[in-house]
Structure 1
C-alpha cells in the first residue's frame, strides 16, 4: 500500500462566511490534515510526497477559463480599489449568458455556491490536491506490476467530488476523482468510481454522465433538502452512451450503520458487474455518527469494514480521502480504515 500527501495541502484556509442569514465557521480547515496525518504515523506507514505531474491532466477535465479563475482570481480580486473582502466569494451564480468581464462576473460564473471561497494560498492547495491524486494514477500507469500500487490512498484536500467542469462548490475546486479517472484511461479501458461520502458528487456525475467507459456510483444522503439538493436521485442514470452508467443510491436521512452497508453492498454489486480495470473510491468520513454533516451513523469500526469490502473487489484501487469534519475522530476513523486495508493486503 502507498499513501500520498503534500505539505501544501494545509495552506488553504477559508475564512468565516455569511450564508442563510448568519455567519458560519468553515468546516474544511487545515487542521483536518493535521489529524488525518496522525493515522499513518501511528501505524508506521510511510507517506510519499506527491510530485508535480503538471497541468495537462487537469485541463483534460476542466475548462481553461475556470482553471485560470482558480489560479489567478484571488490576485485580480485583491487588485480592485473597492474592498470586497479577503477572499473571493459571491452569493451570485450566473453560469450562462455571462461574459465573465471583471472578477465579480468571473466569480458569479465559476463559484456555484458560497462554500468554495478562494483565499491567498487556496490555489496552491487546490493544485497540489490534484497532484497528490495524480501521483497514485501515475504509479499505476507506470508501475502496475508493483504490489504497492494495488492499493493506494491519497489525501485530497481540498476535496473534489462536487467540483463541476467549470464550477466550484461544496468545499471543492478541482475534481480529483474525475481527473485521475480520465488520466487512467490512457491505459485502462474501464474505470469505476464509487463514492461513499455523505453528499452526492454532482461534479463527477456531470463530467461522465454521457460516457460508458467511466462508471459512477454513489451512496449518499438523500438530496431532498440536503446538499447538493438538486442531484443524486435514483432516476439520474446517465444519458446517451452513458445511460445506465450513473447509479445513485440515496439513503433516507437517519439511516443506521446496517442500512449504510446495505446501500454500499448494492453499489459494490454494481461495480463488480461493470468489471472495471481500476476502482477510484471517494472516501468521506462525514458519514461518521458524530460528524456535523452526517445524516447517517457509521461507527469507527465501520470504516474498517468499509475498507475490507473495497479491497474484496480484487481490483487496483485508488482511495481519495475527501469529506470528514469531526476533528476529534478523524485520526481514529482513518486508522480503522487503514487497518482494513492492511489486513486484506
Structure 2
C-alpha cells in the first residue's frame, strides 16, 4: 500500500491548548508524524510525496470565505497591538449567518469553534499539504489501487465547511470523499476516531450521495459535545444518510466491534462504490485522551472487518496522540486491512 505524506506537514507546531479551562501543551504535535511514519513503514507501506493540487479539491468542500480567512488571518493577527503569537479566538457568535465581521478578532471567533486549533505562520502551508496527501490517496484509488493511506497531519474531521476546530483546519476526509465523487456515484465515509467527526457530518448532512457513519465516545460528556448523538440522521435530501454509533466511555474491543458491525451493515445497504476510512487511533486504551479502550490487536480486527467490504478504500489519518504504542497501532490497522 502507498502512504502519502509531505514533510511540510510537520511545520505546524501549535503551542496553545485550553482543556476544561486549564492551559496545557497542545497534544497535536509534529512528533506524531515520526511515529505514524514508523508505523506505516513497519506495515510495508511505500512512502510517497504528494503533488500540489491547488485549492480546487479543497474549495469543493470549504467556502471561499473560510479559505481566504485561513490563508491570511495569521498576518492580519500580527498587526494587532499586543496580539498573541498564535491566532486564538476569544469571542464567538451565538448564531452564525447574516452579517460578517470585518475585524480579524471577529472573524477568528466566526471561523474557529474552540481554542484547540491555534493558527501560526506555518498552519496554512501544513494544512494544504495534509489535504493534498488525501487528494493523492484518492487519485491512487481512482487509478486502480485497492487501497491507499494518507498520513494527514494536521487532521481534519472536526473542520466544517467554514469552521476550524479540534486541531482541524481542512477536512481531509471530506476532501478525499468529494474527489472520489468525481468518478463514483456513491461514497461512504466510516469514521473510527475516538471523537465524533462533526465537521464531516456537517459537510454532508443534507446530501444523499455520501453516507457518513461514525463510531465514537458518547458526546453527552465528551468532545465535541454538541454533535454525534444517535438521533442525528441527516436532513432534507440527506435524511437517513448519517449514522452515529456512540459508545460508553472505556468501552473496549468487543463493544467497538459490535458497533462496527452495525456501521458496516448500513454501508452495505448504501452500496457505495468506494470507501473513505477516517482513521483515529485515539480510541486506544493508552491514548492520552483515554476515552475508549481499544487494544493494539483490536485495531487489526477493526481493519479486517472493514476490509471484508472489499471496496476500494482511502484511509485518512485523523487522531491518535503521543504514546509509546502509536506506531504499533497504525501498523496493526494497516496490516490487518491488508490481510484480506
Q: C-alpha distance in 1, partners of 2:83/2:99?
A: 20
- Counterpart contact for 1:74–1:87, Cα < 8 Å: yes
Once the two structures are superposed, the pairs formed by residues 217-228 of structure 1 within 5 Å of their partners are: 217-228=213-224
Judged with a 3 Å threshold, the aligned counterparts in structure 2 of structure 1 residues 244 and 43 are, in CA distance, closer, same or farther, namely: closer
Question: Which residue is 1:310 aligned to?
Answer: 306
Question: Which residue is 2:83 aligned to?
Answer: 84
Alpha-carbon deviation of 1:255? 1.3
Question: Which residue is 1:102 aligned to?
Answer: 103
Alpha-carbon deviation of 1:235? 0.8
Alignment of 1:273 with 2:269, yes or no, is yes
Match of 1:176 among 172, 190, 195: 172
Deviates more, 1:211-220 or 1:292-301: 292-301
Question: Which residue is 2:187 aligned to?
Answer: 191
- Counterpart contact for 1:98–1:105, Cα < 8 Å: no
Q: C-alpha distance in 2, partners of 1:19/1:253?
A: 18
SS at match of 2:58: helix
Alignment of 1:167 with 2:163, yes or no, is yes
Question: Which residue is 1:60 aligned to?
Answer: 60
Question: Which residue is 2:5 aligned to?
Answer: 5
TM-score, normalisation: structure 1: 0.95
SS at match of 1:308: helix
Deviates more, 1:97-106 or 1:294-303: 97-106
Alpha-carbon deviation of 1:244? 0.6
TM-score, normalisation: structure 2: 0.96
Q: C-alpha distance in 2, partners of 1:280/1:129?
A: 16
Once the two structures are superposed, the pairs formed by residues 16-165 of structure 1 within 5 Å of their partners are: 16-80=16-80, 82-94=81-93, 95-141=96-142, 143-144=143-144, 149-165=145-161
Give unmatched runs, 5+ long, in structure 2: none
- Counterpart contact for 2:219–2:226, Cα < 8 Å: yes
Alpha-carbon deviation of 1:168? 0.3
Alpha-carbon deviation of 1:11? 0.7
Q: C-alpha distance in 1, partners of 2:4/2:218?
A: 31
Match of 2:285 among 280, 283, 289: 289
Match of 2:319 among 306, 319, 323: 323
- Counterpart contact for 1:98–1:109, Cα < 8 Å: no
List structure 1 runs of 4+ shifted beyond 4 angstroms.
none
Q: C-alpha distance in 2, partners of 1:167/1:285?
A: 23
Aligned-residue Cα RMSD (Å) equals 1.3
Deviates more, 1:161-170 or 1:100-109: 100-109
Q: C-alpha distance in 1, partners of 2:10/2:87?
A: 19
Alpha-carbon deviation of 1:190? 0.2
Note the alpha carbon deviations across 1:176-218, whole angstroms, 9 max, x for none.
1111211211110000000010111111111111111100010
Alignment of 1:261 with 2:260, yes or no, is no
Note the alpha carbon deviations across 1:73-94, whole angstroms, 9 max, x for none.
11111122x1211100013222
Matched length: 338
Deviates more, 1:243-252 or 1:41-50: 41-50
Q: C-alpha distance in 1, partners of 2:197/2:283?
A: 14
Note the alpha carbon deviations across 1:260-286, whole angstroms, 9 max, x for none.
111111111111111100000001110
SS at match of 1:224: helix
